[in-house]
């Protein structure tokens, strides 16, 4: 495995009884890269995410993270879902601590790490709040902190912002992207939203309609100075990527306002 590859998917297929969800999916995720996967509804994005996360065994093929099979929770992968799935009876701090507890990290060390994240990323003062008292954007931020706390090599994001209002979504896109870069992580983002894929990712894979296969790959080149998701949408480069990806999609999918 090349030095620079953190995750490799080889020949992935997944069948459910009577349904071939996706087939022949191969790609490599490089260190410090954000890779987005877009595709029409029902093409198998969420199922592919589950396979990449090691939550579901593929019918064919394999996924390796740092050269090891992903199945069996290696600890190198952290994932975050559309629904935050925070435990409502636990405080913000205790939710962020969850992954560390499961891994058996000592309480003092785990708490220092969790408090550091909470402070660094705008949740200071909310350590003892229950998730039910927070806005949707704050809950997703807590879910992201929880994903980052065990310091995974690869972060998997499945439609992480789709339940949020447009403004909160843009803010979190910017925030999550800069945190991933700052902490030198790699990420795979599964999304319906072409604009989100373009502003957050270095590369976008377009899946065909079911059974999902990789139809095309787009290397995203936006001017460095406008990595900001709002500014980026105003550039001709964004527009060109949007049009190219849109024309590769087999059927219309939800497009966020530009
Ligand atoms: N557990 C399951 N059992 C049987 N069929 C399933 C199961 N999970 C998914 N499928 C089928 O596999 C196909 C792909 O589903 P999946 O949810 O992965 O697509 P998707 O691209 O994420 O869809 P959407 O964009 O609408 O969220 C669909 O036809 C779905 O009905």
Distance CA 235, CA 216 (A): 22
pTM above 0.80, yes or no: yes
For residue 161, what pLDDT is reported?
86
Is residue 162 within 6 Å of ligand 1 at its C-beta? Answer: no
User: Which of 67-76, 98-107, 186-195, 202-211 has the least mean pLDDT?
Assistant: 67-76
Q: What is the pLDDT of residues 211-255, one digit of tens each?
A: 999 999 999 988 766 667 778 888 899 999 999 999 998 765 444
DSSP 210-226: SSB-EEEEEE----GGG
Backbone angles phi, psi at 204, to 5 degrees: -120, 125
Distance CA 247, CA 181 (A): 29
Ligand 1 atom nearest to 159, measured from its CA: 27
For residue 227, what pLDDT is reported?
64
Extended strands (E) in the chain: 5-16, 19-30, 34-38, 60-65, 68-69, 77-80, 154-158, 186-190, 203-207, 214-219
Atom 30, ligand 1: residue with shortest CA distance:
42
Q: What is the pLDDT of residues 85-96, one digit of tens each?
A: 788 899 999 999
Is residue 89 within 6 Å of ligand 1 at its C-beta? Answer: no
Distance CA 40, CA 221 (A): 23
Q: What is the pLDDT of residues 18-51, one digit of tens each?
A: 999 999 999 999 999 999 999 988 888 889 988 9
Query: Which of 46, 53, 197, 210 to probe ligand 1 with, by most ligand atoms within 8 A of CB?
Result: 46
Atom 2, ligand 1: residue with shortest CA distance:
16
Atom 6, ligand 1: residue with shortest CA distance:
16
Is residue 21 within 6 Å of ligand 1 at its C-beta? Answer: yes
Strand-pair partners of 69: 64
Distance CA 9, CA 37 (A): 13
- Which string of b and e fits 76-88 if b means at least 16 CB within 10 Å? bbbbbbbebebee
């Amino acid at each position: 495995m090349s030095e620079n590859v953190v995750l490799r998917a080889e020949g992935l297929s997944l069948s459910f009884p009577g349904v071939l969800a996706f087939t022949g999916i191969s790609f490599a995720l490089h260190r410090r890269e954000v890779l987005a996967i877009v595709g029409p509804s029902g093409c198998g994005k969420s199922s592919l995410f589950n396979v990449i996360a090691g939550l579901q065994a593929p019918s064919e093929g394999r996924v390796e993270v740092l050269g090891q099979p992903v199945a069996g929770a290696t600890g190198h992968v952290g994932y975050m879902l559309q629904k935050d799935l925070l435990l409502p009876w636990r405080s913000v701090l205790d939710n962020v601590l969850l992954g560390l507890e499961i891994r058996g990290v000592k309480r003092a060390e785990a708490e220092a790490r969790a408090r550091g994240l909470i402070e660094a990323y705008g949740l200071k003062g909310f350590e003892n709040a229950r998730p039910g008292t927070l806005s949707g954007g704050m809950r997703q931020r807590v879910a992201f902190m929880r994903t980052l706390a065990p310091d995974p090599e690869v972060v998997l994001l499945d439609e992480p912002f789709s339940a949020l209002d447009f403004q909160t979504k843009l803010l979190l896109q910017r925030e999550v992207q800069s945190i991933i870069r700052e902490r030198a992580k790699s990420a795979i983002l599964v999304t319906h939203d072409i604009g989100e894929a373009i502003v957050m990712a270095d590369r976008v894979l377009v899946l065909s309609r079911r059974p999902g296969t990789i139809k095309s790959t787009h290397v995203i080149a936006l001017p460095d100075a406008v990595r900001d998701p709002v500014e980026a949408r105003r550039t001709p480069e964004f527009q060109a990527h949007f049009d190219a990806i849109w024309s590769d999609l087999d059927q219309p999918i939800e497009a966020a306002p530009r």
